[in-house]
Amino acid sequence: MAEIVKADDAFDHGFFEGTSCAFGVFDGVHRGHRFLLDRARDTAARSGGRSVALTFDIDPDEVFHPLRLKKLMTNEERLSMLASTGVDAVCVLPFTREFAASSPAEFLAQTFDGTPPAYLHVGFDFKFGARACGTVDDLDAWGLAGGTKVRAHGLKSDDGAPITATRIRLLLAAGDIEEANRLLGRPYFMTGTVEPGRGEGADLGFRTANLEVPDQLRPLGDGVYAAWAEVGGARYKAAVNVGVAATFADRATATCEAHLLDFSGDLYGKPVKVEFLHWLRPMRAFDDMDELIATVKGNIAWVRENL
């Protein structure tokens, strides 16, 4: 696991000496991101410096587009996943409105403060500084003047269309979990702490661990999915309802409900990670409780047999 270094007031910019940095927000840490990070690892290996994932503490969209935010993971998850990609360090820049308003030149001067890295890897469409007006051309000019080799990469693609977080979010919204997972290079997951629900699961014959995942962290479309649930270091097959249960929309608050197969016990207050693998059906409102029960039991049986 790489060290995670926060570029706060006490940060020594000498950290960047000889480094190969890959710069980005990296929401999702998808295959495109990993490709860029691997390029930084390549130049670090050749030049003898350290490889660094250079990123922000929050997603800039949290500041600029809070209403249409649909993040693939929390900031903590993003930083810890970046730390497990094989880079030597993750350097976390505090993102503030003030910092974002600085000109491209100020932005770079503040970020590196006199110690520019040996290599800086970005996507060819990378933008930075006030109103995102800094381009790769600006980076090239800055690199030439200060001794940084700037490498702008085409976005990774394996089917003609580049792998981007936006593309993955759209796939998730449509419930196309298999294709989203392929582009992510791992199963899409949601995390949360188990909250008490309405206590009806036991009566219906299937208990569900209820998570209240906020909208901004739920790009996955409403529906019923086959998943793996991880809790307390153990993994269970799970049948999962995403979205507020339509039948009980007036009283329910959970946005992700997981029935863990072959589990019994108390999960209240425990952190759960749900990895989604297959879409099973749309979520719907049932008039008849017996039909709801039979349908959910059918979904649970499918998960048991097919996962």
CA 203 – CA 296 distance, rounded (Å): 13
CA 13 – CA 117 distance, rounded (Å): 10
Q: Kindly tell me which of 22 and 280 has the beta carbon lying closer to ligand FMN.
A: 280
Q: Kindly tell me which of 159 and 250 has the beta carbon lying closer to ligand FMN.
A: 250
Q: Is 263 in the site for ligand ADP (CB under 6 A)?
A: yes
Out of 208, 211, 231, 267, name the contact with ligand FMN by CB under 6 A. 208
Q: Is 269 in the site for ligand ADP (CB under 6 A)?
A: no
Contacts of 4 (CB under 8 A, 6+ apart): 79, 80, 83, 89, 90, 92
Query: Quick one: tokens of 164?
Result: 């981007």
CA angle 252, 254, 260 (to 5 degrees): 120
214: phi then psi, degrees, rounded to nearest 5: -65, 155
Q: Is 259 in the site for ligand FMN (CB under 6 A)?
A: yes
> What would you measure as the largest C-alpha separation in the chain, in angstroms?
72
Query: Quick one: tokens of 273?
Result: 């990670």
The helix or strand, by DSSP H or E, that contains position 271, with its residue range, turns out to be strand 271-281
Q: Kindly tell me which of 81 and 254 has the beta carbon lying closer to ligand FMN.
A: 254
Q: Is 287 in the site for ligand ADP (CB under 6 A)?
A: no
CA end-to-end span of the chain:
30
Q: Kindly tell me which of 71 and 259 has the beta carbon lying closer to ligand ADP.
A: 259
Mark residues 155-194: x for contact with ligand ADP by CB under 6 A, - for none: ---------------------------------------x
Q: Which residue has the tokens 């974002």?
A: 100
Q: Is 307 in the site for ligand FMN (CB under 6 A)?
A: no
Q: Is 227 in the site for ligand FMN (CB under 6 A)?
A: no
Q: Identify residues 196-225 at the interface with ligand ADP (CB under 6 A).
A: 196-199, 201-202, 207-210
Q: Is 241 in the site for ligand FMN (CB under 6 A)?
A: yes
Contact region with ligand FMN (CB under 6 A), list: 64-72, 93-101, 187-195, 244-252: 244-252
Binding residue count for ligand ADP, defined by CB under 6 A: 19
What are the start-end ranges of the E strands in 137-196? Answer: 149-153, 188-193
CA 200 – CA 207 distance, rounded (Å): 8
Mark residues 61-80: x for contact with ligand FMN by CB under 6 A, - for none: --------------------
β-bridge partners, 239: 226, 259
Out of 266, 287, 290, 305, name the contact with ligand ADP by CB under 6 A. 266
Q: Which residue is nearest to ligand FMN (CB)?
A: 197
108 — alpha (psi -120 to 50), left (phi > 0) or beta?
A: alpha
Q: Is 284 in the site for ligand FMN (CB under 6 A)?
A: yes
Q: Are 52 and 88 in contact (CB under 8 A)?
A: yes
Rule CB under 6 A: which residues touch ligand FMN?
Answer: 197-201, 204, 206, 208, 210, 224, 239, 241, 245-248, 252, 254, 257, 259, 283-286, 292, 296, 299
